[in-house]
Chain A
């Protein structure tokens, strides 16, 4: 190997990983759940920074918005409904788990000796299927971002499964925590009558920008880092910010819980629908090359699409556009529904406490 190994990149890698280890040990030690949750938020941001060092721009983006954003909100909602402190455990009861964990860790570190060197371009993982995707994607799909192309086109079926899992989580949380606050009972905030005017004015300006950024991430996904998963979470964050600043009552009027759940299902339907259209046109399931039929081409005014290198790229572009839209709808509405589930439960708990 002729490239420098102990370069600045590797030094950053080591520094960030040691920070992660320190944060993880702090999470193990702390008895305050609030501290643990905030430390996990910090952990996610450090992971996102580390992922940029690893050249995984798309994953870094996802980790930053999901790990530091949504996870923290959901965990905070959960401790609000339970209890913020962990009961002290007798140290004798921790000896057996510690021994077990040390044994498992020892075996894994021993086994790590058989893994390829860090950064090895000739390792089995990097030299076979990963390399083939890099070589063929631009010719097959016409999308520069290989990660999005593999996610949405080559492995579109896989992503359909993951979108369905997210929809199932939406249904699961709704079944366990109820269907969110009822629109007429959720509290509203007197917008003019409190100290948070500056916060409200600034948020009012920020929320449209957040949505605009989400749309940019969505439609720029096949050119640069981004895509439906990231954009969906960013869009949900805009709605959650609105609920935090203006009160749940105002937000549920604009984004009704019932509509959110329907959209979550519709996203999966849209994704599956694209696959079925491909089937009807004579291709395989989710084979986007069959989306751009001569009939579709005849409907589009000439000159609008420019002059693509290969005609089937338009089918791939349409397919990725629509399935990413389905992913966006499902992810955004699921995250909002989960937030409504926890927030609505909190309102009921407060009411029950006041009533008794």
Chain B
């Protein structure tokens, strides 16, 4: 199998990460930046799940040993492969990255809400969420405050 086929997922994950990083770097809009961060974070999740994929596996929900479903799944695979990599005759996906990414998604939306709340407060204080305009406004405010001191 060629390199591109066996590493296709990693290439796409890096491309998605680049898209997110580009938005964060190049966009001055604070909301767009939060969207870019969400994209970046999502690509990390995709990377973990890609690593946890096991060929011919099923979801990590234990089937009873010798159950009909387990036998049906195992019959589609090479017996030697099942013998080597299966648990009680069934090949499962690696559950550990699933656990990490599951909680990361929920924590991600909670932190996204905090970031957006900050953007809303910035808009109330400056009347804009564009980073360049905020910088110009705060420079003007600083110059006005200077003579008063």
Contact = CB atoms under 8 A, between A and B. Distances in A.
Contacts of B42: 43-44, 47, 67
A259 B54 CA distance: 45
A62 B22 contact: no
B114 interface: yes
Contacts of B140: none
A104 interface: yes
A152 B106 CA distance: 15
Contact of B120 (A129, A158, A345): A345
**Prevailing SS type, chain A contact patch:** helix
B26 A98 contact: yes
B87 A135 contact: yes
B11 to A, nearest CB: 6
B131 to A, nearest CB: 10
Contacts of A24: 15-16, 19-20, 39
Interface string A14-29: 1001101100110110
Interface centre among B29, B78, B99 (most CB of A within 10 A): B99
A36 interface: yes
B78 A18 contact: no
Interface stretch (A114-122, A208-216, A293-301): A114-122
A159 B93 CA distance: 21
Contacts of A86: 27-29, 32, 130
Given A101-B18, A159-B103, A166-B107, A89 B26 contact: yes
A75 B31 contact: yes
Interface string A224-263: 1101010001000000000000000000000000000000
B105 interface: yes
A109 B10 contact: yes
A58 B46 CA distance: 14
Given A27-B19, A115-B51, A145-B60, A121 B110 contact: no
B54 A119 contact: yes
Nearest to B103: A162
Nearest to A337: B113
Given A86-B27, A130-B52, A55 B58 contact: yes
A133 B132 CA distance: 50
A323 interface: no
B94 A125 contact: yes
A66 B41 CA distance: 14
Interface centre among B20, B34, B60, B123 (most CB of A within 10 A): B60
A101 B27 CA distance: 13
B22 A119 contact: no
A297 B129 CA distance: 59
A84 B128 CA distance: 11
A117 B53 CA distance: 10
Given A105-B17, A150-B95, A151-B99, A56 B52 contact: yes
A155 interface: yes
A155 to B, nearest CB: 6
Contacts of B102: 58-59, 62, 147, 151, 227, 229
Contacts of B84: 121
A197 B6 CA distance: 54
A183 interface: no
Interface in B90-127: 91-99, 101-103, 105-114, 116-121, 123
Interface stretch (A172-180, A188-196, A271-279, A312-320): A172-180
B136 interface: no
Interface stretch (A2-10, A198-206, A282-290): A2-10
B119 to A, nearest CB: 6
6 contacts: A55-B57, A78-B31, A79-B31, A131-B87, A138-B62, A176-B118
Interface of A: 1-3, 5-6, 10, 13-14, 17-18, 20-21, 24-25, 27-28, 33, 36-37, 40, 43-44, 47, 50-51, 54-59, 62-63, 66-67, 70-71, 74-75, 77-79, 81-83, 86-87, 89, 93-94, 97-98, 100-102, 104-105, 108-109, 112-113, 115-123, 125-126, 129-131, 133-135, 137-138, 144-147, 150-151, 155, 158-159, 162, 165-166, 169-170, 172-173, 176-177, 223-225, 227, 229, 233, 331, 334-335, 338, 341-342, 345
Given A55-B54, A341-B117, 17 more contacts: A6-B5, A36-B32, A36-B35, A47-B46, A56-B49, A59-B98, A74-B116, A82-B129, A83-B123, A102-B18, A118-B50, A133-B96, A150-B96, A169-B111, A169-B113, A176-B114, A176-B121
Closest 8 CB pairs of A and B: A97-B25, A169-B110, A130-B94, A119-B55, A112-B10, A55-B93, A78-B116, A117-B6
